[in-house]
Amino acid sequence: MRIAGVLETCLYAADLEAARGFYQGVLGLELFAEEPGRHLFFRAGDGVFLVFNPQATLQESSLPPHGAEGAVHVCFRVPAEALEAWAERLQAHGHKVTWAQWPRGRSLYVRDPAGNLVELAPAAIWGLG
């Protein structure tokens, strides 16, 4: 048996409208499902990116309660040649970009409206194609 990849990942944000503005409006992710006050579900390449309101998901009764406090991290895969354009787009929307240099390339970091750390990077930084 072997893990084939990450199917979904999530971050938490109390202000889902601000999260929608960032992930849909700035990053351009396709919103495909939502429950007001609880969650936003986005397409992210071959996977799914979820944003939950932790005040709602910590009260779950049919699923295991879950949530997070403080900033967490997600990294979206982008082509290396697109990083500069992403930096310009993010800065044009008022987001501060921080660059990181890795042995196999570089990536950029930005904070979402909830303070989560969002990274954009080519797969090559992990030695992947």
Q: Please determine, for residue 42, whether its predicted confidence score (pLDDT) is greater than 80.
A: yes
For the chain, the straight-line distance linking the first and the last C-alpha, in angstroms and rounded, comes to 22
1 in a structural domain: no
d(CA 23, CA 42): 8
Which tens digit of pLDDT belongs to each residue from 64-87?
Answer: 988 888 889 999 999 999 999 999
Q: What share of the chain is helix, strand, coil (3-state, %, to 5)?
A: 25, 35, 40
Mean pLDDT of 109-117: 97
Q: What residue numbers bound the domain in which 75 lies?
A: 8-126
What confidence tens digit (pLDDT) does each residue in 18-39 have?
999 999 999 999 999 999 999 9
In a domain, 18, yes or no: yes
The residues pairing with 74 across neighbouring beta strands, listed in sequence order, are: 118
Q: Looking at 7-16, 17-26, 65-74, 97-106, which range is the least confident one?
A: 65-74
Prediction pTM value? 0.93
Q: Give the number of domains in the chain.
A: 1
Whole-angstrom Cα distance, residue 19 to residue 40? 8
Q: Is residue 68 part of a domain?
A: yes
Domain holding 46: CATH number? 3.10.180.10
Instruction: Decide if 3 is inside a domain.
Output: no
